[in-house]
Structure 1
Amino acid sequence: MAIITLTTDFGLKDHFVGALKGSIYKELADAKIVDISHGISPFNIHECAYILKNAYQNFPEGTIHIVGVDAEPTPENQHIAVLVDGHYFITANTGVIGLITSEVNPEKVVHINIPNPEHGSFPVMDVFVKVACHLARGGTLEVVGKVFNELKQLKEYTPTVTDNGNKIVGSVVYIDNYGNVVTNIHKNFFDAYRKGRDFELNARTTKIKKIYHRYSDIINFNLDRNNRRGAGDLLALFNSSNYIELAIYKSDLNTVGGASTLLGLDYRDMVTINFL
């Protein structure tokens, strides 16, 4: 039986997640359900895309991913099912799949059109669950919809280059549980324009001239503890997804604060890199 994952902005206070899982078990008693996240900020497609992209690759091929963020269907927000990179995604056409398909071409995309669909306020349960269970039983995409060629792309997710290749203009796309600030500047993008040059990363009034690969890389363990950098110090690094991230070493967003609060950065705020 294929794994079915859930990524939503439902939170855990209300009945929605429990009802969603119950409806799956009602159709497939031996289903394997994994929660990726139910803490996506309401209707935040970029945050959803970032989390989903960095989670799905760790599941086996054939996994079915239900995406319950901004899922109400409209003429401009169609329900779709996508087979890409060996994984199935059931979602609305919000652009959330665009981050994945920007690197890997989808094998199949269909506009969902199942018989006698419910038209209530909970389409993730009324429609997406039915499609997921159909696929988990070994069904095909052709049965649940028709070929669709209008996938939306998240254009804002791509940084821009200005000043004749001497400046990258990016933005904040995600703030994690530690208050670390993730930008949309990928290491490959950065390296392609750096060409060995020195650089200066600017985030509001903060300037950084070095990017690490691990959080603890800021510590020079050859120095006495009183003379070395450590907890509470700012750093930039390529995170586990290879995006440039600004972090406070061993920070706690709920007490002393994290990079987001201490630097005054929020979702969509600008981050620039000037090559020198």
Structure 2
Amino acid sequence: MRKQRIIALLTDFGLKESSVAAMKGTILSICPKAQIVDISHEIPLFDVRHGAFVLASAATHFPRGTIFVGVVDPGVGTERRGIVVETERFLAVGPDNGLFSFFMDRERVKNVYEIKNKELMLEQKTHTFHGLTIFSPVAAHLANGVEPGLVGPKINNYIHWSIPRSIIKESAIFGEIIHIDQFGNGITNVTKKDLRKIKVNYDSYIKIKIDGKKVSAPFKRSYGFSKTGDYICVIGSYDFLEIAVNQGNAAKKLSLKIGNKIRIKKAN
């Protein structure tokens, strides 16, 4: 008896239309024993980078053997390829547009395959919904035990971009905003290890410069260690330093955007 496989879905489809349900129906028609888990269907429309960050952050917590289906696909119907990423622990199915970049950075990638095998796709013709006709059925067949190598040829020239690394110079960390979550927290590429290198520990105050704006905030274990409306910095669930406002919205308050350059120093 084949072990039940988890198929985890991430899209920008929302839940008002039938798209997500159609994908689930397709998966269950091919692999009735599949256990389907929703990561998110509220990725901002066409925001591949946002989807990449959420997918990678969630994937870490899934059991070995999970198959991820990611569909944030503004290039659907064009010459962009569909791919299957095979890592030591997981499989991921979706468009070759960078959506799996951060996931691949966190996992040990064994192979990447271009999806070419039409026997694993639906016969239904559509150029606008590959989540239904290609990615969902391929994931279901993989869950049924089809070997990843049977989806198509190995490729090496897939699209990939990495989270930029922070730099430490003269007791300062230079980084950037890499993600803004639904609470308006600005997630940076600065790690706890980076902070230790400039002697910042819990209860230290840090000075932050963000594209000309200057903020001073305590570094705490969690958001509630500051007064409502005050700035605070924490290491969040993504394992990066977050610039936050307790029960507020730091992104709005500071006009944060992805790519904002930041400088962090320990306050004297």
- TM norm structure 1: 0.82
Deviation at 1:37, TM superposition (A): 0.3
Distance 1:96 1:185, change over 3 A: farther
Aligned to 2:228: 231
Does the alignment pair 1:34 with 2:31? no
SS of the residue corresponding to residue 98 of structure 2 reads: coil
Confirm or deny that 1:72 pairs with 2:79: no
Structure 1 position 182 matched with structure 2 position 190: no
CA contact (8 A) 1:98 1:151 kept: no
The counterpart of 2:224, out of the listed 209, 216, 241, is 216
Q: Which runs of 5+ in 2 are unaligned?
A: none
Q: State the alpha-carbon separation in 1 of the partners of residues 179 and 133 from structure 2.
A: 30
Q: What CA distance in whole angstroms lies between the structure 2 residues aligned with 1:47 and 1:184?
A: 14
Distance 1:91 1:186, change over 3 A: farther
Aligned residue type for 1:50:
F
Q: How many residues align?
A: 254
Pick one of 214, 239, 244 that aligns with 1:206. 214
Separation of aligned partners in 2, 1:247 and 1:99 = 23
The 3 A distance-change label for structure 1 pair 73 and 213 is: farther
Shift of 1:274: 4.4
Q: Distance in 1 between matches of 2:117 and 2:90?
A: 20
Answering whether residue 59 of structure 2 is matched by residue 51 of structure 1, we say no
Change (3 A) 1:199 1:151: farther
Structure 1 residue 140 and structure 2 residue 137: aligned? no
Cα distance, 1:167 vs structure 2: 4.5
Q: Partners of 1:56 and 1:64 in 2: how far apart?
A: 10
Change (3 A) 1:195 1:182: closer
Letter of the 1:24 partner, please give it: I
1:171 positional shift: 2.6
Structure 1 residue 142 displacement after superposition: 1.0
Equivalent of 2:256, from 258, 265, 269?
A: 265
CA distance change for structure 1 residues 271 and 73 in 2, over 3 Å: closer, same or farther? farther
Alignment of 1:41-190 (within 5 A): 41-70=44-73, 72=76, 74-75=78-79, 77-115=80-118, 117=121, 118-155=125-162, 157-161=163-167, 164=169, 167-188=172-193, 190=194
Please report how far the alpha carbon of residue 91 of structure 1 lies from its aligned counterpart in structure 2 after TM superposition: 1.6
Does 1:25 pair with 2:28? yes
Q: Does residue 244 of structure 2 align to residue 247 of structure 1? A: yes
Q: Kindly provide the amino acid, as one letter, of the partner of residue 263 in structure 1.
A: L
Distance 1:263 1:6 in 2: 33
Tell me the amino acid that sits aligned with residue 170 of structure 1.
G
Q: Which amino acid aligns with 2:76?
A: E
**What whole-Å deviation, never above 9, does each CA across 1:42-98 have from its counterpart, x for those lacking one?**
1212211111111112111111110001162544x3211012240110021222222
- Tell me, in whole angstroms, the C-alpha distance in 1 between the residues paired with 2:44 and 2:165: 22
Q: Cα RMSD between the aligned structures?
A: 2.4
Judging changes above 3 Å, is the alpha-carbon distance between structure 1 residues 8 and 242 closer, same or farther for their aligned structure 2 residues? same
User: For the Cα contact (< 8 Å) 1:72–1:123, is it kept in 2?
Assistant: yes
- Spell out, residue by residue over 1:117-146, the C-alpha distance to the aligned partner (whole angstroms, 9 max, x if none): 545210111100111011111111011111
Which residue identity does 1:53 align to in structure 2? A
- Is the Cα–Cα contact under 8 Å of residues 170 and 271 in structure 1 kept in the other structure? yes
Which ranges of structure 1 fall in alignment gaps of 5 or more residues? Answer: 219-229, 252-257
Cα gap change, 1:182/1:210 in structure 2, threshold over 3 Å: closer, same or farther?
same
Q: Which runs of 4+ in 1 moved over 4 A?
A: 116-119, 164-167
Distance 1:267 1:169 in 2: 15
Answer yes or no: is the 8 Å Cα contact 2:6–2:67 preserved in 1: yes
Distance (Å, rounded) in 1 between the aligned partners of 2:67 and 2:199? 42
